Chain A
Amino acid sequence: MRGLGRYVSLFGLQLRTSGLLAAQYRWDFLIDGALSVFSAAAALVPLFVVYADERRGIPGWSFEESLVVIGCFLLLQAILEGAINPGLVAVIEHIRKGTLDFVLLKPADAQFLVSTSRFQLWRVAGLVNASIVFTFAFTRLGRWPSAVGVLQMAVLVAAAVWILYSLWIVIVSAAFYVVKIDNLTYLFTSLFDLARWPVTVFRGALRVVFTVLLPLGLMTTYPAEALLGRLDWPTLVASVLGAGLFAAAARAVWLRSIRHYTSAGG
């Protein structure tokens, strides 16, 4: 597998470039980090208001359990906005300007190159936020997740990242057809915002949509249930299989759309 080795070293190279870029803008790094703590705290306000009166709450979820969901959300958000979104912005820019040619001409897979082109390392702050929320929630619960639970959660988070990445590829593919879509990242993040709450708040058809079609439930609710030690194995297996299906479909869409690309160069 010489090909794989080449891609691993390419990945390392791209990550290093982003690291150097982050080191260049140190103040940005700090300010962005501070802002992310601020917005994470602000996002907790609705939950505090919901549970301000202990007689009310999200059915089936205590305050601490909902916090675990939010912790999973912050974790995934950090990955999404640190590793997935920046590339999305870059590729939309390429398509708009017609400079995607330079990527396509390179002797490596185009999807790989655009996906790894940019990382925002300050999003690590999001991981810190997530761990603060987790610590707070589990301290209040008075028990810690089991090893199996943590393992299950790790698998589910990996599956969630895989799905997010696939959704991202589908969205980028749309950029080949409709060009002026700087708003796409905004759409992506705001749809992802749905995952902030346990999927059980949605009822009926919406619940099906957010579990199967746009598997937000899988992304945050299931990992949280795994940490809380109440996830059953079939759900886990189904989630991983679903993620695989998602990825395959996204790759197909990407390959189709890239044929549609007409350069704007001159």
Chain B
Amino acid sequence: MSLWRPLKVLPTLMRVGFAESLAYRAEMIIWVFATTMPFVMLALWSAVAHAAPVASSSGRSWGSAEFVAYFLTMFMVRQLVSAWAAWEINFEIRQGTLAMRLLKPLHPVWSFATSNVAAMPLRAAVSIPVLVVLFAVGAHRQLASDWRLWPLVPFALLGGWLIAFFANVAIGSLAFRMEQSLKVMDVWFTCFFVFSGYLVPTDLFPPWLRAVAAYLPFRYQLGFPVELLLGQHELGSALRMLAAQWAWALGLMTVALVLWRLGVRRFQAVGG
């Protein structure tokens, strides 16, 4: 993959992607409604914390305010660090329409990436009401107070997205070889829901489960950016987490590109 050509066509691809996301805005709204799980978990945990704050094994105390800030932030971060290339790749391989992408003088991974990234402004816009609520209920007081953490936030979000995207590409590429690559995606998602902190803050996990989560990519994809925004890490531990996150991102990128390369050789479009 040379870098110069993608950079030259990137603005155009982004414009196309943005127009696409505008065209399918109804679909996106539906998708957003489908990611309301954090609010449900918020209800559950608020009910649990109603009587007394929940103490985590690391010594942090989670009251209603903490849960509100956590799950609202979780919702917003989820909008930004998600990718759906696995479904696109799977669909295009099945239908043979991937041939059109392969003809273009640009690695298809770039076009999948830009169509994901270009939808982000619209997705971020959906988060605005949630952001307003966050401030209205005073939950913004839970956000990180150490200003040195804030410059890390964009990198943490980008790293989270890279993990999501390349996991998608890797699993999507399996469709070159196997019929049921989307089932692998289901397994990925099941693990993601448990270990990312999406349903339960990993801080509340029993120590052994938290240790398992530390060795999996899911927490780095979603839980870590949220924890960072909420200032749950000291600068030192935040930097260590960031390094681990980017190691996962780069590792998954390598795996994804290798799987793609091995798979695409087998691709046979059915001509018409």
Binding site for B on A (CB under 8 A): 28, 31-32, 35, 38-39, 42, 45-46, 49-50, 52-53, 55-59, 178, 180-184, 186-187, 190-191, 193-194, 196-197, 200-203, 206
Contacts and interface: CB of A to CB of B under 8 A. Distances in A.
Nearest to B189: A39
A205 to B, nearest CB: 12
A206 B205 contact: no
B206 A49 contact: yes
Contacts of A191: 33-34, 36
7 contacts: A42-B194, A53-B55, A58-B44, A180-B26, A181-B27, A186-B34, A193-B40
A193 B180 CA distance: 24
Contacts of B206: 49, 52
B199 A45 contact: yes
Contact of A59 (B43, B47, B191, B200): B47
Contacts of B186: 35, 39
A59 to B, nearest CB: 6
A203 B40 CA distance: 11
Nearest to A182: B27
A180 B191 CA distance: 29
B204 A49 contact: yes
A190 B36 contact: yes
Contacts of B47: 58-59, 200-201, 203
Nearest to B206: A52
Question: On chain B, which size bracket covers the interface?
Answer: 35 or more
Contacts of B40: 193-194, 196-197
Contact of B191 (A42, A190, A194, A200): A42
Given A46-B44, A203-B43, 8 more contacts: A35-B183, A39-B186, A46-B199, A58-B44, A59-B50, A190-B34, A190-B35, A201-B47
A52 B208 CA distance: 13
B103 interface: no
A38 to B, nearest CB: 6
A183 B43 contact: no
Contacts of B190: 38-39, 42
A45 B33 CA distance: 23
Contacts of B52: 55-56
A98 B223 CA distance: 43
Going nearest first, the 6 A-B pairs with the smallest beta carbon separation are A201-B47, A190-B34, A187-B34, A39-B190, A183-B30, A178-B26
Interface string B188-203: 0011011000011000
A39 to B, nearest CB: 5
A56 B47 CA distance: 10
Contacts of A181: 26-27, 30
Nearest to A57: B48
Interface in B98-149: none
A45 B200 contact: yes
